[in-house]
């Protein structure tokens, strides 16, 4: 939550910072601010609302300077207001701080600092950082102001507890920014005579594709033509730059009205790119060998939200194709349940961002239990990928819309590829099956090209149903998680009440909420469970539901007998079918939200990366 950006270079920093904040807006958007070092003085502009409001305010006061910091906020401590917006300043107004994360000991620090005479202006935890650095500066001796600031920030870094990525700017050190990172993301962009500090790569991707990733506890000092990283002991550390392969076009809307719809259409390419590396050597990836892989007896999948739904699908794959008992936990629950010590266990964390605090906490627990860990992740250099023994990258490019779409289908595809590889390694599937599944995977991007053509029909249907108060989604087996995902997507962007159920469960209670006209979406490809799903349609139809069947060509005729509307999705293998089945539900959520006039890419109360527990 929250996005931070810093610029130091030869140009006016304001347009770089505002533009970077727009790219980071998915991380929080209830207020935003910038501080610019202008002729030896810090000028701050802040505004409640989105970055566009800040931009308007900045256009009026027109700050200018080569060094600056910016922040877009998702409120944790203190309501969204101008006082609570970042950057936060010390008493002198000479030092400002932007922060992403939570300072857990801020109340104790605030009391101490207040007793020492510091005056607080906001309700935030962040403001203590500015005052604490100010206090430390008073007691720090150094031959020059730059060293003094570095030492004071180092001292502050050990006094604060919690999760934080921080950017610091001091009026006495023009052309220099300091950043520290502990458990919140912070990336450095290396440009030509300009350098960037940011919560995420898209913030500077337009200017450079060279990045440095920091480890927890580290500090970075940015100057126009030099970047220095200090390790936890304050020693200079050599860090190799990583070339980012994302092209900046994928980080832009490319003519679409919203990122969400663009990212739905990105899916054929995202699958193609993900599959390019899917035939990987998983043993090597985990720093182990085939023999150890064959010994795997247990898999724990850990994830949140949409990624958790992908994990639920993955369970079917890993159990059926690799024969390995698999559990799936919400990361926030995994951390608190007692887990018996199993030998030969692999924990798989699924996360688009790699920065979800709950998922990171859960994987740390798995590591403490001695499990091998694998991340399925979309962001190179993210905290999760640095923690795990190995990472399988989904190559979707940046996913900006808060509602996850292309990451979800790529995660399921990756899990399928993993299960097929494990099944081959441990002999659970035959060579013939391996070849069959590999063919299905290879064909999947083409099937997806056909699937995204469904937008028009889905859009047309939403005209009829968008005013409904409640929506229901039903599925069985691998399509049950798709019912959950369809409901989550709709809730998230349209604020409508939506629930997903296992079709066999409705008669155990949920059927009572079906009333005349309630739209019920039934995922029913013509597979081994088709007959059962026909019955589900009938049960709902008999209670007055408006039944929409999502099926494959072979099921169309029968589906028409029991549903008011039938959508036909291209067919692939029974297990991979969910990757395609979710697409009409993504369009559905998009179009209902659009017709209701919702803020699709930035729904209320949400943020893309949930970096707090």
CA distance 309 to 303: 8
Q: Is 404 in the site for ligand M6R (CB under 6 A)?
A: yes
Q: Is there a contact between 392 and 414 (Cβ–Cβ < 8 Å)?
A: yes
Bridge partners of 7? 68, 196
Least distance between ligand M6R and beta carbon 259 (Å): 12
Choices 96-104, 122-130, 346-354, 459-467; region in contact with ligand M6R by CB under 6 A? 346-354
> And the tokens for 596?
């209701």
Q: Is 444 in the site for ligand M6R (CB under 6 A)?
A: no
- The catalytic residue among 2, 388, 540, 598 is 2
Q: Is there a contact between 158 and 117 (Cβ–Cβ < 8 Å)?
A: no
Q: Is 85 in the site for ligand M6R (CB under 6 A)?
A: no
Least distance between ligand M6R and beta carbon 378 (Å): 8
Least distance between ligand M6R and beta carbon 306 (Å): 3
Q: Is 600 in the site for ligand M6R (CB under 6 A)?
A: no
Minimum CB distance to ligand M6R smaller for 379 or for 474:
379
Q: Is 137 in the site for ligand M6R (CB under 6 A)?
A: no
Sequence-distant (≥ 6) Cβ neighbours of residue 351 within 8 angstroms = 303, 304, 307, 359, 375, 376, 377, 378, 382, 384
Q: Is 610 in the site for ligand M6R (CB under 6 A)?
A: yes
Q: b or e along 265-296 (b: 16 or more beta carbons within 10 Å of the residue's beta carbon)?
A: bbbbbbbbbbbeebebebbebbebeeeebeeb
Minimum CB distance to ligand M6R smaller for 98 or for 307:
307
| Long-range contacts, stretch 286-294, CB < 8 angstroms, 24+ apart | 286/346, 286/372, 286/374, 286/389, 286/390, 287/389, 287/390, 288/372, 288/389, 290/425, 292/344, 293/422, 293/425, 293/426, 294/425, 294/426, 294/427
Choices 76-84, 305-313, 448-456, 463-471; region in contact with ligand M6R by CB under 6 A? 305-313
Q: Binding pattern to ligand M6R, positions 475-504, x when CB under 6 A?
A: -----------------x------------
Least Cα distance to 365 among 312, 292, 302 occurs for 302
Q: b or e along 497-535 (b: 16 or more beta carbons within 10 Å of the residue's beta carbon)?
A: ebbbbbbbebeeeebeebeeebbbbbbbbbbebbeebbe
Minimum CB distance to ligand M6R smaller for 189 or for 486:
486
Least distance between ligand M6R and beta carbon 405 (Å): 8
Q: Is 154 in the site for ligand M6R (CB under 6 A)?
A: no
Q: Binding pattern to ligand M6R, positions 347-376, x when CB under 6 A?
A: ----xxx--x--x-----------------
Helices 406-425 and 267-276, interaxial angle, to 10°?
30
Query: Cβ–Cβ contacts within 10 Å for residue 111, how many?
Result: 11
Least distance between ligand M6R and beta carbon 307 (Å): 4
- The catalytic residue among 335, 424, 594, 608 is 608
Minimum CB distance to ligand M6R smaller for 73 or for 608:
608
Least distance between ligand M6R and beta carbon 62 (Å): 36
Q: Is 76 in the site for ligand M6R (CB under 6 A)?
A: no
Least distance between ligand M6R and beta carbon 270 (Å): 14
> And the tokens for 182?
């502990």
Report the residue closest to ligand M6R, judged by CB.
Answer: 305
Q: Are strands 390-393 and 372-377 parallel, antiparallel or unpaired?
A: parallel
# chain residues binding ligand M6R, by CB under 6 A = 15
Q: Is 307 in the site for ligand M6R (CB under 6 A)?
A: yes
Which position among 128, 130, 149, 403 is part of the footprint of ligand M6R (CB under 6 A)? 403
Quote the distance between the C-alpha of residue 377 and its chain's center.
Answer: 9
Q: Is 128 in the site for ligand M6R (CB under 6 A)?
A: no
Based on the residue annotation, tell me whether 421 is a catalytic residue of this protein: no
Q: Is 304 in the site for ligand M6R (CB under 6 A)?
A: yes
Based on the residue annotation, tell me whether 23 is a catalytic residue of this protein: no
Which position among 375, 402, 454, 580 is part of the footprint of ligand M6R (CB under 6 A)? 402
Coil, strand, or helix at residue 468? coil
Sequence-distant (≥ 6) Cβ neighbours of residue 153 within 8 angstroms = 133, 136, 168, 178, 180, 219
Minimum CB distance to ligand M6R smaller for 89 or for 489:
489
CA distance 29 to 3: 9
The residues that are catalytic are 2, 608
Binding footprint of ligand M6R on the chain (CB under 6 A): 304-307, 351-353, 356, 359, 402-404, 492, 609-610
């Amino acid at each position: 939550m929250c996005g931070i950006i810093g610029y130091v270079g030869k140009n006016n920093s304001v347009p770089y910072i505002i533009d970077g904040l727009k790219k980071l807006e998915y991380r929080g958007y209830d207020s935003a601010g910038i501080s610019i070092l202008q002729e030896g003085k810090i000028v701050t502009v802040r505004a409640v609302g989105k970055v566009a409001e800040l931009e308007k305010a900045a256009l009026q006061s027109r700050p200018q300077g080569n060094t600056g910091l910016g922040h877009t906020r998702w409120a944790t401590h203190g309501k969204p207001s101008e006082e609570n917006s970042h950057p936060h300043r010390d008493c002198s107004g000479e030092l400002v701080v932007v922060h992403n994360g939570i300072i857990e000991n801020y109340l104790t620090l605030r009391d101490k600092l207040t007793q020492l005479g510091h005056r607080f202006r906001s309700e935030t935890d962040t403001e203590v950082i500015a005052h604490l650095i100010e206090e430390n500066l008073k007691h720090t001796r150094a031959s020059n102001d730059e060293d003094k600031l570095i030492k004071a920030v180092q001292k502050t870094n050990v006094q604060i507890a919690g999760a934080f990525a921080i950017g610091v700017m001091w009026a006495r050190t023009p052309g220099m920014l300091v950043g520290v990172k502990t458990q919140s993301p912070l990336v450095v962009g290396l440009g030509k005579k300009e350098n960037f500090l940011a919560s995420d790569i898209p913030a500077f991707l337009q200017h450079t594709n060279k990045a440095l990733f920091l480890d927890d506890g580290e500090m970075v000092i940015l100057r126009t033509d030099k970047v220095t990283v200090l390790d936890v002991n304050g020693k200079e550390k050599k860090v190799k730059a990583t070339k980012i392969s994302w092209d900046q076009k994928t980080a832009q809307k490319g003519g679409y009205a919203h990122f969400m719809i663009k990212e739905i259409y990105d899916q054929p390419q995202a699958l193609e790119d993900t599959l390019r590396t899917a035939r990987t050597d998983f043993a090597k990836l985990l720093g182990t060998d085939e023999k150890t892989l064959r010994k795997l007896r247990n898999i724990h999948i850990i994830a949140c939200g949409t990624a958790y739904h992908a994990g639920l699908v993955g369970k079917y794959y890993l159990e059926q194709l690799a024969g390995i008992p698999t559990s799936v936990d919400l990361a926030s629950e995994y951390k608190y349940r007692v887990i018996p010590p199993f030998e030969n266990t692999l924990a798989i964390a699924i996360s688009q961002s790699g920065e979800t605090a709950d998922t990171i906490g859960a994987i740390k627990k798995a590591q403490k239990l001695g499990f091998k860990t694998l991340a399925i992740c979309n962001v190179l250099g993210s905290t999760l990928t640095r923690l795990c023994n190995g990472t399988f990258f989904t190559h979707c490019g940046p996913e900006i819309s808060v509602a996850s779409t292309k990451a979800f289908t790529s995660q399921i595809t990756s899990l399928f590829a993993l299960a097929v590889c494990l099944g081959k390694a441990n002999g659970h599937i035959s060579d013939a099956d391996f070849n069959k599944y590999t063919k299905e995977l290879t064909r999947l991007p083409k099937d997806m090209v056909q699937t995204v053509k469904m937008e028009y029909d889905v859009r047309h249907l939403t005209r009829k149903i968008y005013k409904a108060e409640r929506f229901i989604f039903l599925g069985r087996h691998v399509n049950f998680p798709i019912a959950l995902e369809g409901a989550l997507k709709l809730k998230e962007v349209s604020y409508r009440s939506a629930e997903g159920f296992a079709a066999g469960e409705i008669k155990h209670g949920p059927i009572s909420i079906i009333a005349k006209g309630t739209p019920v979406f039934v995922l029913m490809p013509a597979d081994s469970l088709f007959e059962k799903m026909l019955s589900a349609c009938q049960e709902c139809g008999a209670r007055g539901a408006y039944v929409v069947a999502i099926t494959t060509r072979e099921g169309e005729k029968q589906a028409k007998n029991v549903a008011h509307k039938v959508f036909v999705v291209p067919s692939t293998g029974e297990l991979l079918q969910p990757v395609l089945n979710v697409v009409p539900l993504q369009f559905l959520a998009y179009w209902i939200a659009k017709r209701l006039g919702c803020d699709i890419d930035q729904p209320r109360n949400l943020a893309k990366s949930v970096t707090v527990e």
